[in-house]
């Protein structure tokens, strides 16, 4: 049987049925897990690792580093990894890890649940069994396994608060569908260089959502001396206001003068930003902005956080940002 490391980080799957926060006892959560899902033992030899017990809203880049290091230090001992994680920021952590875990040749499967494990109608049992089974396959990816679907981690996003089908990957096909059988839609990677971990992230950046009537005065007052990049969630294919007091151009110009990288992503989930399509995008290009293509917000953000921490030159960061590093970006 395959050997799997099951890493606990918290979330609803670690909550009591009363829903009063992350309540499973760190000392005996694994016992509770096996009491509820004894069949887990039939799928693999599983070791459990209580890394942290947090609502995922309280996780940050230091947790991503811990998680990456945990996988690194156990990499040779296991065939696959399952990470129990809250759904709220699961796509951020999965995206962040997809950049840090380089030349991954084993499955790293995130899962969680919408309803606590101990609740009668919990989705935890199904998600956990599926995730463990996925971790025994030949998948060489950071993935999210949820509600019988397996998504590429850095293409996934939380789509629903209330549905069991909580995730989607708008611009990327499912890696696998779990029905009577598991249908894997990926080919094994060949000739991978040795596994390596580069886990560092910078938070010297902001996300800006453009909206009608956005007060540009607030933006022009931002202290840009500490900000190295801004991910702009534009309209449609890369549009934003260009006229009168609402024009974002003076702000983009100020960013350029301060050496702040501007990345344009879209508020629309499907398809890719195309900055050549409309005057706004073309002007943004002239002001030095770069496109986030069809990346999810989670990938667009964590990729920049990761690049800024691992590369010194702005040119290199910008160039790598527009390159597909871990399958997060469709190159045309
Ligand atoms: N607030 C929870 C979390 O992300 C939600 C969940 O797990 O579904 O930790």
Backbone angles phi, psi at 323, to 5 degrees: -110, 150
Dihedral in degrees, nearest 10, Cα atoms 164, 169, 175, 179: 30
Q: What is the pTM of this model?
A: 0.96
Same domain for 99 and 163? Answer: yes
**Residues at CB less than 6 angstroms from ligand 1:** 11-12, 55-57, 86-88, 112, 114
Whole-number pLDDT of residue 18 = 62
Closest approach atom of ligand 1 to CA 166: 8
Residues annotated as catalytic are 12
Pocket test for ligand 1, best of 56, 63, 89 (most atoms within 8 A of CB): 56
Domain boundary among 163, 197, 231: 197
Same domain for 120 and 150? Answer: yes
The total of structural domains in the chain comes to 2
Please, which residues bridge with residue 209 across strands? 233
Q: Which two tokens stand for residue 245?
A: 């007091």
Same domain for 27 and 126? Answer: yes
**Residue among 307, 263, 323 nearest 96 (CA):** 307
Closest approach atom of ligand 1 to CA 54: 9
Three-state secondary structure readout of 160-186: CCCCCCCEECCCCCCCEEECCCEEECC
Residue nearest to atom 8 of ligand 1 (CA): 87
Domain boundary among 162, 197, 232: 197
Contact call for residues 141 and 153 (beta carbons, < 8 A): yes
Domain boundary among 197, 216, 248: 197
Closest approach atom of ligand 1 to CA 56: 9
Ligand 1: distance of its center to the CA of 11 in Å? 4
**Residue among 29, 31, 34, 1 nearest 15 (CA):** 29
Ligand 1: distance of its center to the CA of 111 in Å? 11
CA 145/CA 8 separation, integer angstroms:
15
- DSSP assignments along 2-61, one per residue: -EEEEEEEESGGGB-TT--SB-S-TTTHHHHHHHH-TTHHHH-EEEEEEEEEE-GGG--H
Ligand 1: distance of its center to the CA of 292 in Å? 27
Same domain for 225 and 136? Answer: no
Same domain for 99 and 247? Answer: no
Ligand 1: distance of its center to the CA of 254 in Å? 38
Same domain for 12 and 131? Answer: yes
CATH number for 210? 3.40.50.40
Same domain for 275 and 165? Answer: no
Whole-number pLDDT of residue 24 = 63
Whole-number pLDDT of residue 285 = 94
- Domain of 118, in residue numbers: 3-197
CA 144 to chain centre: 9
Same domain for 155 and 247? Answer: no
Residue 9 belongs to some domain of the structure: yes
Whole-number pLDDT of residue 20 = 60
Same domain for 209 and 183? Answer: no
Same domain for 36 and 88? Answer: yes
Same domain for 262 and 143? Answer: no
CATH number for 149? 3.40.50.1170
> What are the 10-residue block averages of pLDDT along the chain, 332 residues in total?
95 73 68 84 94 94 98 98 97 98 97 89 94 96 97 98 96 96 88 94 98 98 96 97 96 96 98 95 94 98 98 96 98 84
Same domain for 185 and 213? Answer: no
Around Cβ 244, how many Cβ atoms within 10 Å?
7
Residue 332 belongs to some domain of the structure: no
Contact call for residues 254 and 224 (beta carbons, < 8 A): yes
Residue 187 belongs to some domain of the structure: yes
């Amino acid at each position: 049987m395959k050997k799997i490391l099951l890493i606990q980080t918290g979330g609803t799957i670690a909550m009591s049925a009363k829903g009063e926060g992350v309540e499973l006892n760190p000392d005996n959560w694994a016992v509770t897990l096996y009491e509820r899902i004894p069949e887990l033992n039939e799928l693999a030899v599983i070791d459990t690792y209580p890394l942290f017990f947090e609502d995922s809203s309280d996780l940050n880049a230091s947790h991503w580093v811990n998680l990456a290091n945990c996988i690194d230090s156990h990499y040779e001992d296991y065939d696959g990894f399952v990470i129990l994680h809250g759904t709220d920021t699961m796509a951020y952590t999965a995206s962040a890890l997809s950049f840090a875990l380089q030349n991954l040749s084993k499955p790293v499967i995130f899962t969680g649940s919408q309803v606590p494990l101990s609740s009668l109608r919990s989705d935890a049992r199904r998600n956990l069994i599926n995730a463990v089974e996925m971790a025994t396959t030949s998948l060489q990816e950071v993935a999210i396994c949820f509600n019988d679907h397996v998504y590429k981690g850095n293409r996934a996003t939380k789509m629903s608060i209330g549905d069991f089908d909580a995730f989607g990957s708008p611009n990327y096909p499912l890696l696998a569908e779990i029905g009577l059988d598991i249908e894997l839609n990926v080919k094994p990677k060949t000739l991978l260089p040795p596994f390596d971990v580069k886990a560092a992230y910078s938070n010297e950046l902001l996300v800006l959502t453009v909206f009608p009537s956005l007060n540009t005065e607030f933006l022009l007052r931002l202290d840009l001396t500490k900000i190295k990049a801004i991910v702009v969630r534009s309209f449609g294919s890369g549009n934003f206001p260009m006229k009168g007091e609402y024009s974002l151009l003076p702000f983009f110009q100020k960013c350029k003068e301060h050496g702040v990288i501007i990345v344009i992503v879209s508020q629309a989930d499907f398809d890719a930003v195309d900055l050549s399509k409309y005057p706004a995008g073309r002007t943004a290009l002239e002001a030095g902005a770069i496109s986030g293509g069809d990346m999810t917000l989670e990938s667009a953000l964590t990729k920049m956080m990761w690049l800024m921490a691992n590369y010194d030159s702005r040119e290199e960061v910008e160039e790598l940002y527009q390159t597909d590093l871990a399958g997060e970006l469709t190159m045309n």
